[in-house]
Each structure stands twice: as structure tokens, then as C-alpha cells.
Amino acid sequence: MSISDVIYRALTAYALLIVIGFIVATMIKVIVSVLSKGPKTTAVAAPRVAAPEPVTPAPQGPPLHHLVAIAAAVYAVDRRMRIIHLQSDSGIDLSWTSVGRAMHQASHQVRR
């Protein structure tokens, strides 16, 4: 197979892909035009209803200070285990915990 045969096949494949692309684009255009000629409907605005007052959910589960006491008891009994993360659903901003997580993850760096 000579270089001219390779170039001829490449150009033939390229031309075939262009033709297929034009056929697909034309089919898409026809489908869109047919679907856009469907029945026209007008949108009716829904009447505005006052939004209900947000209700803060009652905290579920044990209080956070109980969980801290449990974590301390677990650590006292078995020092190999410790509770790393507690999350409250009370809506309190807990962004300060990201610093603790970063410090904890940094302690797991592999020594080389």
C-alpha cells in the first residue's frame, strides 16, 4: 500500500463523514420544523399564593452534648477508636469544622 493509496482512503473517509454530517443536520432541521408546527398553547399564570412561614424542624436524635459524652467514653475505654465527626441538623453554622477536618486529614500524610 503506497502513500497515495493511504491519502486517497483518508480523503474518501473525510468526504464520507462530511456527507453523513450534512444528512444528519438536514434530518434534525426537518424534525425541528415539523415539531415546531404543532398546536400552540398559551401559558396561563397561576395565582400567587403566599408562601407558608418556614418551620424549623424539631431536633431529632440525642442532643449533641450527649454524643460528646459518648465519644469521650469510647475514647476512655478503647484509645484506638475515636469519633471524628459529629454533625448537627439544627441549622447552626459548622464551617469551623473544616479546619478540624483539614488538620485530621493532614495527620494521615504518608511519610517517605
Main-chain phi, psi angles of 83, to 5 degrees: -85, 125
What's CA 19's distance to the chain center, in Å? 38
Domain containing 9: what range? 1-37
Average pLDDT, the chain: 80
Q: What is the pTM of this model?
A: 0.34
- Classify residue 89: in a domain, yes or no: no
- Classify residue 106: in a domain, yes or no: no
For the chain, how many structural domains are there in total?
1
- Classify residue 74: in a domain, yes or no: no
Nearest to 64 by CA among 29, 26, 90: 90
Dihedral of CA atoms 93, 96, 98, 99 in degrees, nearest 10, equals 180
The H or E element that residue 85 is part of is none
Nearest to 27 by CA among 15, 37, 35, 38: 35
Report pLDDT for 23: 97
Q: Kindly tell me if the per-residue pLDDT of 33 is higher than 80.
A: yes
- Classify residue 2: in a domain, yes or no: yes
